[in-house]
């Protein structure tokens, strides 16, 4: 326990960490989790995947995870459909819907900015952990995700947030909840595109999957856009050289790629309704050209595209970054501060 805590402190550059202190509350993020997993392994303290550390982000939790004897599907809880980023707290939970890659790990950057009493859960795509297939269509996805939300919180008021793909899914969830008579007191969309009516192009989608998969795995950029198999091979080689050097194994990355393909296939099916209430929108103010031609995530005018689907005020916050950098430390700090301010306004 002392050895784990020491490496925890060295990774974060702070002292006096308790066994129940949350890694992400202390300033950690998914990439630091990979670094910490590597340090634990090389020091001979623990051999635990970074994904498992993200699912159990305390000293006590990671020790318990390392001792588990029960067989789990690849990735365990970190690839399950409901990821408790912070289960503790008495405030109304905040549910963060996954971006196109299907995983909600990058929302860990919000935790230090929301206050320790704010529970935060990541909604992740079905199909990642091998326990169930991906959602067959948009309606099924919304229904499944609302079931996950109700496992934690049977009734409103609800708080929803989504980045990119997760933004238009969160909007659909919010509309569905209102149709059922529930109250949604916060809907925050992080540079969410509007995909309804676009044409699904399998070849373009495959290029986008390769680019997104590289980002999820933390791979350094390559010249041009790689194909999915080459990205998987690079992940496999990295894991073979050092099992703690990647947040995912090759097998887990292949599952993520499959989920991405499905997510892109059903994206045009999300026909937006009208959300009755105000919306917090965060626009990437320094967008650059798309790595993959036709990538809706970097399209211009995303906030304006949502205004007809919001019966209230859409508060557009300009964040000085590109779309894919919105969960980097500086942008997510700005976003977290704005979300925290909105939540304080709700609770008075």
The percentage of the chain sitting over the pLDDT mark of 70, rounded to a whole number, equals 89
Give the pLDDT score at 151.
96
Q: What is the mean pLDDT of residues 120-131?
A: 91
Each domain of the chain, given as residue ranges in start order, spans 1-71, 74-348
We find that the CATH architecture of domain 74-348 is 3-Layer(aba) Sandwich (3.40)
Query: pTM for this structure?
Result: 0.84
Burial environment of residue 333 by CB neighbours within 10 A (0 to 12, 13 to 18, 19 or more): middle
Give tens-digit pLDDT for 152-169: 999 999 999 999 999 999
Give the pLDDT score at 69.
34
Q: Which of 67-71, 119-123, 139-143, 260-264 has the lowest mean pLDDT?
A: 67-71
Give the pLDDT score at 72.
44
Burial environment of residue 340 by CB neighbours within 10 A (0 to 12, 13 to 18, 19 or more): middle
Q: What mean pLDDT is reported for the chain?
A: 86
Give tens-digit pLDDT for 254-267: 999 999 999 999 99
Sign of CA dihedral 253, 256, 262, 266: negative
Q: Which residue has the higher pLDDT, 203 or 54?
A: 203
Give the pLDDT score at 163.
98
Please name the fold of domain 1-71.
Answer: 1.10.1200
């Amino acid at each position: 326990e002392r050895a784990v805590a020491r490496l925890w402190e060295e990774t974060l550059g702070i002292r006096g960490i308790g066994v129940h202190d949350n890694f992400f509350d202390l300033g950690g993020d998914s990439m630091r989790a990979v670094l910490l997993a590597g340090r634990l392994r090389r020091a001979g303290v623990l051999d635990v995947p970074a994904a498992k550390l993200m699912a159990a982000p305390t000293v006590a939790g990671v020790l318990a995870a390392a001792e588990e004897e029960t067989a789990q599907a690849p990735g365990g809880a970190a690839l399950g459909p409901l990821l408790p980023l912070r289960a503790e707290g008495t405030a109304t939970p905040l549910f963060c819907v996954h971006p196109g890659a299907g995983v909600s790990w990058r929302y860990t950057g919000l935790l230090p900015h929301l206050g320790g009493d704010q529970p935060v859960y990541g909604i992740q795509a079905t199909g990642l952990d091998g326990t169930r297939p991906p959602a067959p269509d948009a309606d099924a996805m919304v229904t499944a995700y609302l079931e996950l939300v109700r496992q934690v919180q049977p009734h409103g008021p609800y708080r929803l947030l989504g980045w990119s793909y997760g933004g238009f899914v969160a909007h659909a969830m919010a509309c569905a909840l209102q149709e059922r008579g529930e109250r949604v007191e916060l809907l925050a969309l992080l540079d969410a595109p509007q995909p309804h009516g676009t044409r699904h192009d399998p070849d373009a989608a495959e290029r986008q999957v390769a680019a997104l998969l590289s980002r999820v795995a933390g791979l350094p950029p390559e010249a041009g856009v790689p194909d999915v198999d080459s990205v998987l091979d690079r992940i496999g080689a990295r894991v073979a050289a050092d099992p703690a050097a990647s947040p995912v194994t090759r097998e887990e990355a292949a599952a993520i790629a499959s989920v991405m393909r499905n997510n892109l296939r059903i994206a045009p099916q999300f026909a937006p309704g009208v959300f009755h209430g105000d919306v917090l929108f965060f626009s990437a103010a320094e967008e650059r050209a798309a790595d993959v031609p036709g990538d809706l995530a970097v399209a211009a005018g995303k906030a304006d595209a949502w205004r007809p689907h919001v019966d209230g005020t859409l508060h557009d916050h300009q964040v000085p970054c590109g779309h894919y950098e919105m969960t980097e430390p500086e942008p997510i700090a700005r976003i977290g501060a704005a979300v925290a301010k909105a939540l304080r306004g709700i609770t008075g």
